[in-house]
Structures are given as structure tokens and as C-alpha cells.
Structure 1
């Protein structure tokens, strides 16, 4: 698969060795994210709003209420920047100045487009639910016409994009390695915890198999 071409926006100037334009790297970082940050211009000011996201092929999808200022701005063709970041660890160097974080991040520049086709729109929402919790779509009540009419689904092509990552141990100044100070990485990770039932759930409703799998992964 060909790499994404760097642009003036996506060329990394600070620690360029941490940049990647490899599609597999970009997609893996996106696919680990449930949420992205969308920065866009609205009138005389800049806004950044977090929103749920998912990927299908070479597109990043989001959705929202028709009345959302973000949806209205993006639907009008406003250029934007979408950011995703995962913090994987705290890098504790011997020097406070040299301490850092291990992370994986992606920035996407471009314009969102509305998913107009009703079949595509419904399938996109289906894929979103499957991404959140595989198996849930078939069990949950399907969206009705009123809900679908009140919701806009948008997508942005993953083309003007860059990944930037850091991994590994601290990098201290040479003279600091002799200091008797613990140094290393404190790993951080997000993981599923055991499900918590709705207090109004009937006592005879069993935990679905796909959530039992999450329970097993959590222990």
C-alpha cells in the first residue's frame, strides 16, 4: 500500500523521525479510538469538539444531531482538522526536562461530506454500533425514521494525514545517566471493566454473550 504524501500541513518539523505516512500505521491508530477531536472554523472563532468516530475503508465517519453547530459547519464544506491521540505511557527520565510520554497520534485535514444515501447512512450507523460493541446491533432496537431523519452522518477522506508516535525508554543527557534516580516507563492502557446493569433492567434479562466476552477480557 502506497504511503500518504506529506503536505505543508502534515509535514512534521519537530522530531520528524516520529512521523509516519504509512496507511497501516494510520489506520491502526484510528481503529483503536472511540473518540476524535474535530477543530473547525465557525464565524469569527475556532471550535474544537470531541465526538465519536469510526473508520470504513479510507474514510473516517462521525455523526450528530442536525442542529449541532459542528454538523452545520462541517456540512457546509468548512475545512477542518481531526485529531486522535492515545497516551501509552509516562516516560520518567532522570531529568524532569527530559521526561515525556509514549503516544500514538493522527491528524487528518480536509472536508467532511454528508452521507446522503439512506441505505449507506443506515449501514454506516450499523458499522458504528458493531465497532462499539460487536453483536449489539442485532439485539438493540433499530433506528426509526424519526431518529434517522434527525441525525446527520458525515465522512472525511483519509488522505491529507500524518501519524506521529513515540515509544521506548527515556532519553537522558549523557551526564544524567550516572544519577541514582529511577528512570523508565509507567505503561498506561484502557481496558473494558465488568458490565454494570441498568438499575431498571428486569432481573430475568441475561448478560449477552458478547458482553460476557468483555467480562473475560477484563479479568
Structure 2
């Protein structure tokens, strides 16, 4: 189903979404408008290999968890399925349109969903000018911390890591990556310059590469 962003805002305000429209397929103009103006979340229920409790879960268990996330989203939010590669891990994620009525409440709701499905992080982008773009850690050693960024890049060349991929109407692929400053960690209102997160993600990518080569 193709999404018209203007009518979407009206429907979301009234809260009349039903399960028959999910998952949605966006037009390129609609997805670019969302990326430029904000008002969305990117979230997954996939395997979190950074958490020991997830590593030995069966594929069927992960699939069931993903279905449960779609149940949590359906009737409340419009969303599209999305493929991506992050830190060397392939996963199915969801690009979710927010209602933008109570942003702080919605941010908290999705942080809780990230924790519920044992995700290391979610991406929350508040609809404002300029957008507030946050990579929020929801489990693990960095839980409660986040980093911010601004803007995105459309990827037209072959890339192998750190990208998201959406199927668009009528039959095309939109591949992009969001920009974040992982050198500045935010805890509450405090900003800390550190390489801790950069090293964390770099080490995980190297570990994945070693596993594939062994």
C-alpha cells in the first residue's frame, strides 16, 4: 500500500490505523519527507549478539519475537518492514511513523519496547526544526545513554555495513544511513566527549569479521 504522507498525518492524529494497512510501502517522496522532517522511529526485535542471552536463541524464537513486536505496533502505528546491516549483523527492522502529539511519551514507549525485545538500541527522530536525531541505548552497558546526529545520506554505491534498506512503490529500493556523532555520549543533560562508543562498535565489527573468517 502506497503512503500519502499528508493523509497519514490526519489518520494518525485521529488514531484510526488498523492492521490491514501494515506493513506499508512508502513512495520515495514520502520517505524523504520523513527523513528530512522527523517523526519516526527505527526499531527491531532481531537477535542482539551483544547480549549473551540472545546468542543461543533459535531462529524460530527470534522470528516469534519479531511477530510479537509487529503485534505491539499494529493498530497503534503505521510502519514499514526494513532490512539493514549494522555492525556486521543483518536484521529485519521497522520504520515506524510517530503520532507527534506527545513526543516525550512516544520516546519513552519505544525505549521500553527496545528493552522489552532485548535490543541494544533504537533510533528516535523527533519531528521539529531542525530534527532531533537520537541513537538510544536500551540494554547492555550503555543503557540509558544516547548520541545525537543530524541528517542522512542516500547510498547509491555498494555498501556492506551500517545501512538501512526500504522497498518503495512501485518497485524500487531506497538505501540510506543516518549520521550520528558517536564521539559524544549524552547522559541526561550532560555531554561527554569519549571514544568509548566508537571503540565499542569497532571492536564488535572486528569480532564479527574474525568469526566469519574462522
TM-score using structure 1 length: 0.25
Q: Which is greater in Rg?
A: 1
TM-score using structure 2 length: 0.25
Larger RCO (CA under 8 A, 6+ residues apart): 1
